[in-house]
Amino acid sequence: MKKLINSPEDVVREALEGMELAHPNHLRVSYEPFYIVRKDAPVKGKVALVSGGGSGHEPMHGGFVGMGMLSAACPGHVFTSPTPDQMFEAGKVVSGGAGILQIVKNYTGDVMNFELAAEMLKEEGIAVETVMTDDDVAVEDSLYTAGRRGVGLTILMEKILGAAAEKGMPLKDIKALGDKIRKSGRSMGMALTACTVPHAGKPSFELAENEMEVGIGIHGEPGRRRVPMAPADQITEMLMEPVLTDLPFNKGDTIILFVNGMGGTPLIELYIVYRKAAAIAEKHGLKIARCLVGSYITSLEMAGASVTALRVDDQMLQLWDAPVNTPALRWGV
Amino acid sequence: MKKLINSPEDVVREALEGMELAHPNHLRVSYEPFYIVRKDAPVKGKVALVSGGGSGHEPMHGGFVGMGMLSAACPGHVFTSPTPDQMFEAGKVVSGGAGILQIVKNYTGDVMNFELAAEMLKEEGIAVETVMTDDDVAVEDSLYTAGRRGVGLTILMEKILGAAAEKGMPLKDIKALGDKIRKSGRSMGMALTACTVPHAGKPSFELAENEMEVGIGIHGEPGRRRVPMAPADQITEMLMEPVLTDLPFNKGDTIILFVNGMGGTPLIELYIVYRKAAAIAEKHGLKIARCLVGSYITSLEMAGASVTALRVDDQMLQLWDAPVNTPALRWGV
Amino acid sequence: MSEFSVSKAVAWIKAASAALEKEETRLSDLDAAIGDGDHGANMRRGFVAVVKKLDAAESADLGALYKTVGMTLLSTVGGASGPLYGGFFLELGKRSMGRPAWDAAAMVDALKGGLADIQKRGKAELGDKTMVDALSPALDAMAGAGGDLAAATKAAAAAARDAATKTAPLLARKGRASYLGERSIGHEDPGANSLALLLETLSTTCEA
Amino acid sequence: MSEFSVSKAVAWIKAASAALEKEETRLSDLDAAIGDGDHGANMRRGFVAVVKKLDAAESADLGALYKTVGMTLLSTVGGASGPLYGGFFLELGKRSMGRPAWDAAAMVDALKGGLADIQKRGKAELGDKTMVDALSPALDAMAGAGGDLAAATKAAAAAARDAATKTAPLLARKGRASYLGERSIGHEDPGANSLALLLETLSTTCEA
Ligand SMILES: Nc1ncnc2c1ncn2[C@@H]1O[C@H](COP(=O)(O)OP(=O)(O)O)[C@@H](O)[C@H]1O
Ligand SMILES: Nc1ncnc2c1ncn2[C@@H]1O[C@H](COP(=O)(O)OP(=O)(O)O)[C@@H](O)[C@H]1O
Ligand SMILES: [Mg+2]
Ligand SMILES: [Mg+2]
Ligand SMILES: [Mg+2]
Ligand SMILES: [Mg+2]
């Protein structure tokens, strides 16, 4: 295992220290327990957005803390859901009297830990709502399983709901908007290489030079199937077709198209993927109103990419365009 | 070789197509010859900034085209300097009557090709000045050699000079400011892994699991020395000490500190490096006024990092803070 | 043996912690195959913290002790296993409030409560390839083994281990492994294995 | 042979293109060891473009032909070798303006002009581990070999190849290899090798 780290135990704390030093205008960090809150928290009279999950997905979520996006992010150990006390303590710090919205990716661990935190916060008299993301079409959806994973859509949801909160939208409405976004976005990802959890010290799976994993999540787990390597255009089709047909997206729909790198993929390759993804979307008669290309929700140093499409209306687009000022996403300010 | 590409020949063109589709509000792309210009070029009465170099360093340079930074970027093939006709054609398109400033990283190929372009542009009656970056302290500086390489400082220079041009600073003064920046910044980098040039199809060097290269450039070349793997703090010291003692930076100096990823290094590791780099700078009595942490000048999918320190005065800081609106760097707008 | 005292319970938790530490790599490897490779680290981290807590302050009764275990696991383990094992021990605590010791009936009752809590939280049924698959048959074995704690826990441990092994051919329907669909088949469930370790150390503690 | 005509020159450039294509991997491997691994691809790309240009339109004389070669290399090769080889051929063109053919003296004069241009642009001295190290001794050999073009170019090719091999022990002082300092020692210079290929194909063209 070759990493720019000191020891597996210290990865999360030291990265948080680096973030705090690098972004003093955006955020403050607590180390016991771990959480990141926006510099000006609590913002009086506005809904506070709290998200979190395992570490190793940077910039998600800590990089999205700041004006117009998250009020707090709670990082667990690498690929491990955070514990309830993190969301409880962070929630108390960011609560501005208008309630808390938790944005939770659908993983058994995340769901249960955020549920516990919500109960604890409610006992403190704080109103809490939760929206989930479960946009990964690689996983079959069924009442009898854990359901689909939350992946790329999470970033788009955090941006849009963050803008809504900043505008003063009440908790109930933000929750409803979140549920709508949940139902309007789909994603799928693939990997060229595995990644190595620092504590494990070895890659979570082995891939031959001519193989790739399609249908991966964001935790270094193998995908739904292992298939032979293919050119970028073909890979992009393997991701886009299931995404577009699942919802389904319909001719004439307006979308935000998001091509995401898994952490070890250079930007030049993401643009090659975006080129094809945009062409496929257009072929389906979709109008790409906005896009995002970059490594925003990652699996450590995994090489690979994911695509996310979100059907948007005017309100969502306006909120997408609204000012945001975080370490990883910034415009309008 | 595992990459999200279609064929080595098409990498640069297809990535440019993706960039053009993704950033219609920032830039326009020419394919014969290759160049990227800001959407609103030419900007009348202002100095135009032209940079360029081999591809494979994304987001540099194309990602820095836009308001407040570059007027044009000329991408060569992967790791290959662009040809004079690219800078010539781009220069003609962006020239707004106040002259052109070329920002050139010190590589024999870049220097010669930009020189030829400058001659051609001058023959068209356009005033051209050139500033160089040669900030890599890993390379010994000598009159008898090609001199030092231009690396991370290039980004900081492009931002600051871009803001100066936007403010309407005349060519002569921008050139002088560029020369001052050149003399005020130093960098050094290291690699945990090699990278693979698409056309070569195999890694440019082999590193064992317990080895790293220190003193690398940005073209996948081996570094100055191969040494045993070390913890991140020690690696950061190996980079920071030569950087800080070379100029030298003096107690009380104000700096911009830039921790850069080489393309395959996840952000979580860069923050760990930043944490230590900031501590070392403080130990040296330096004041970190601003910082930048991310993968901005890369070597394809190479894992590794570099640090850059730039001594700044108030003017440079104000220009650093000035609005910039490019795909890869954006604030104030 | 017919009485499981507070000091026995402390011994159990410490033995479990040691066993989890010893088996950390195996648990994480099982998790890497069908999950995200952190189950061993999660459990070790949690139980190391629990042992520290138990060393710092004595517990008045089993109820207080298990509450400490549960709260500590909740705030240190994370992941799916954190709330599941945390809630499990909190439930053991609730059902043991004020009790200085367990007899066999109390033990079975408490553990059944723990199982119910896991199922309430995680909604896993028997056969979904989770820790429930190890715990449920173990409690049946324990209930059928009579009043001797050594015999009852021995039967439970054997049943849990056997059931953990038998999770291999199952298709996962809960937790991360469910994302793999058919590819989850052929690997044992990590949580069923850590659960078996808990019951094996319970058994050796009762024998000692 | 005593006359090197336009059609010979075309044959030379095509032979050079074929040789560069054949040796592409070797040139890039040499460049990977002490540079950035693109020299083979750069040269192939440039000469493929040149051959296309030459096929599209006939050149009136050697001057026009070499100008086309030089301009095309300038705008297709990039890197350090683009301006160096581009400038080299442009200089050949300047010194051959209006000439339908070279004799030995004209050839030596043109090539010496080419070398001077490379050194003006690149500022490399003999021993800096660049293409200059192959070209310079080759021209000395050519100048000393008399008026027969076949003999003169054969001597030049042999000297260039020999000199290219002997760049291995040198410490690079120009181009990318100079960044490696001591680590550049022990590897042949890629540009010296492509230069040797140019002269070898010149020799075989003069023999044919
Ligand atoms: N819904 C559930 N019900 C019961 N047990 C579950 C459930 N989901 C997961 N588990 C158990 O948790 C184990 C995984 O724990 P762990 O790896 O620590 O958490 P995570 O899956 O969040 O990384 C699985 O092996 C399984 O036994
Ligand atoms: N200053 C120079 N003078 C003469 N030749 C040089 C000089 N710099 C580089 N070269 C030649 O160019 C070759 C490298 O060419 P190439 O790999 O195509 O360009 P780059 O180094 O830009 O990648 C070297 O092997 C060397 O022979
Ligand atoms: Mg986990
Ligand atoms: Mg090159
Ligand atoms: Mg796990
Ligand atoms: Mg080269």
| pLDDT score for D208 | 83
| pLDDT score for A21 | 98
| pLDDT score for B5 | 98
Residues with Cβ within 8 Å of residue B66, at least 6 apart in sequence: B26, B27, B38, B39, B324, B325, B326, B327
Which residues in chain A are contacts of B235 at CB distance < 8 A? 4
Kindly give the number of the ligand 1 atom that is closest to the alpha carbon of A81: 22
Q: Does residue B246 surpass a pLDDT of 80? A: yes
Range in A258-272, B135-149, C66-80, C99-113 with the lowest mean pLDDT: B135-149
By the 8 A CB rule, do C57 and C10 touch?
no
Establish whether the linkage from the previous residue to A231 is cis, with ω within 30° of 0: no
ipTM of the complex: 0.94
Q: Render pLDDT for C125-143 as a digit per residue (tens, 0 to 9).
A: 999 999 999 999 999 999 9
| pLDDT score for C191 | 98
Q: Are both B83 and B68 inside the same structural domain?
A: yes
To the nearest 10°, report the CA torsion of B234, B235, B237, B239.
170
Q: Does residue B135 surpass a pLDDT of 80? A: yes
Q: Kindly give the pairing relationship between strand B34-38 and strand B72-78.
A: antiparallel
By the 8 A CB rule, do B121 and B128 touch?
yes
In chain B, pLDDT over 70 holds for what percent of residues? 100
Task: Decide: D170 in ligand 2 pocket, CB within 6 A.
Answer: no
Q: Are both A158 and A60 inside the same structural domain?
A: yes
What DSSP designation does B311 have?
E
Substitution target from A13, A57, A79, A119 for chain C, most C beta carbons within 10 A: A79
Q: Are both A67 and A106 inside the same structural domain?
A: yes
What is the Cα Rg of chain C in Å? 16
Task: Decide: C79 in ligand 1 pocket, CB within 6 A.
Answer: yes
Closest residue in D to B146 (Cα) is D174
* Residue positions counted in chain D: 208
> Going by CA atoms, what residue is nearest to atom 15 of ligand 1?
C81
Residues with Cβ within 8 Å of residue B123, at least 6 apart in sequence: none
Q: Report the C-alpha gap between C204 and B296 in whole angstroms.
A: 57
CA distance to B151, C19, D20, D127, per residue, from D84 (Å): 23, 69, 16, 17
Q: Are both A145 and A178 inside the same structural domain?
A: yes
Q: What is the CATH number of the domain that holds D71?
A: 1.25.40.340
Task: State the average pLDDT over residues D69-74.
Answer: 98
Q: What is the CATH number of the domain that holds B215?
A: 3.30.1180.20
Q: Are both A150 and A124 inside the same structural domain?
A: yes
**pLDDT confidence bin for D40, thresholds 50/70/90:** very high
Which ligand sits nearest to residue C193's alpha carbon? 1
CA–centroid distance, C37 to ligand 5, in Å, is 5
Task: State the average pLDDT over residues B243-256.
Answer: 96
How far is the first Cα of chain A from the last one, in angstroms, to the nearest whole number?
40
Among candidate residues B152, B184, B216, the one where a domain is terminated:
B184
Among candidate residues B134, B155, B184, the one where a domain is terminated:
B184
Distance from CA of A73 to the nearest CA of C (A): 15
Q: Does D72 touch chain B (CB under 8 A)?
A: no
Q: Indicate the number of domains in chain D.
A: 1
Nearest to B108 by CA among D29, D132, D167: D132
Q: Does residue D1 surpass a pLDDT of 80? A: no
Q: Does A5 touch chain C (CB under 8 A)?
A: no
Q: Report the C-alpha gap between D174 and D160 in whole angstroms.
A: 19
To the nearest 10°, report the CA torsion of B118, B124, B127, B130.
-10
Burial of residue A332 (CB within 10 Å: 0-12, 13-18, 19+) is: middle
Q: Render pLDDT for A57-89 as a digit per residue (tens, 0 to 9).
A: 999 999 999 999 999 999 999 999 999 999 999
Which active-site residues of A does the annotation give? 57, 219
Q: Indicate the number of domains in chain A.
A: 2
Distance from CA of A233 to the nearest CA of B (A): 7
Task: Decide: C174 in ligand 1 pocket, CB within 6 A.
Answer: yes
Q: Are both B237 and B294 inside the same structural domain?
A: yes
CA–centroid distance, A263 to ligand 6, in Å, is 28
Burial of residue D9 (CB within 10 Å: 0-12, 13-18, 19+) is: buried
Q: Does residue B140 surpass a pLDDT of 80? A: no
Distance from CA of B188 to the nearest CA of D (A): 13
Which helix H or strand E contains D152, and what residues bound it? Answer: helix D149-165
CA–centroid distance, B79 to ligand 6, in Å, is 8
Substitution target from A1, A2, A4 for chain B, most B beta carbons within 10 A: A4
Q: Does residue C109 surpass a pLDDT of 80? A: yes
* Strand-pair partners of B226: B213
Nearest to D81 by CA among D118, D28, D114, D37: D118
Residues with Cβ within 8 Å of residue D33, at least 6 apart in sequence: D187
| pLDDT score for C208 | 83
Closest residue in A to B212 (Cα) is A2
The rounded mean pLDDT for chain B is 96
Query: How many other C-beta atoms lie within 10 A of the C-beta of residue B33?
Result: 18
pTM of full prediction above 0.90: yes
Task: Decide: D29 in ligand 2 pocket, CB within 6 A.
Answer: no
Q: Render pLDDT for B178-208 as a digit per residue (tens, 0 to 9).
A: 999 999 999 999 999 999 999 889 898 889 9
CA–centroid distance, A53 to ligand 3, in Å, is 9
With CB atoms and an 8 Å threshold, state whether A17 touches B58. Answer: no
Closest residue in A to C25 (Cα) is A200
| pLDDT score for D112 | 98
Question: Containing domain of residue D167, as a range?
Answer: 4-207
Which helix H or strand E contains D202, and what residues bound it? Answer: helix D190-207
The rounded mean pLDDT for chain C is 96
Task: State the average pLDDT over residues B44-71.
Answer: 98
Q: Render pLDDT for C11-43 as a digit per residue (tens, 0 to 9).
A: 999 999 999 999 999 999 999 899 988 999 999
Residues with Cβ within 8 Å of residue C136, at least 6 apart in sequence: C115, C126, C163
| pLDDT score for A240 | 98
Q: Are both B141 and B213 inside the same structural domain?
A: no
Task: State the average pLDDT over residues B97-115.
Answer: 97
Of B76, B144, B220, nearest to D78 by CB-CB distance is: B76
Residue C31 Rama label (left phi>0; alpha psi -120 to 50; beta): alpha
Q: What angle do CA A111, A114, A120 make, to 5 degrees?
A: 140
Q: What angle do CA D21, D25, D26 make, to 5 degrees?
A: 105
Among candidate residues B184, B204, B220, the one where a domain is terminated:
B184
Substitution target from C34, C36, C171 for chain A, most A beta carbons within 10 A: C36
CA–centroid distance, D80 to ligand 4, in Å, is 7
Of C28, C32, C79, nearest to A109 by CB-CB distance is: C79
Q: Are both A27 and A88 inside the same structural domain?
A: yes
In chain C, pLDDT over 90 holds for what percent of residues? 93
What residue ranges of chain A have pLDDT lower than 70?
143
Query: How many other C-beta atoms lie within 10 A of the C-beta of residue B326?
Result: 24
String of DSSP letters for C63-110: HHHHHHHHHHHHHHT-TTHHHHHHHHHHHHHHHTTT-SEE-HHHHHHH
Question: Containing domain of residue B251, as a range?
Answer: 185-317
Which residues in chain B are contacts of A16 at CB distance < 8 A? 271
Q: Are both B147 and B191 inside the same structural domain?
A: no
**pLDDT confidence bin for B220, thresholds 50/70/90:** confident
| pLDDT score for A144 | 74
Place of tokens 């070569």: B200
- Chains in touch with D (3+ beta-carbon pairs under 8 Å) read B
Kindly give the number of the ligand 2 atom that is closest to the alpha carbon of D191: 27
Q: What is the CATH number of the domain that holds B16?
A: 3.40.50.10440
In a domain, A27, yes or no: yes
Task: Decide: C24 in ligand 1 pocket, CB within 6 A.
Answer: no
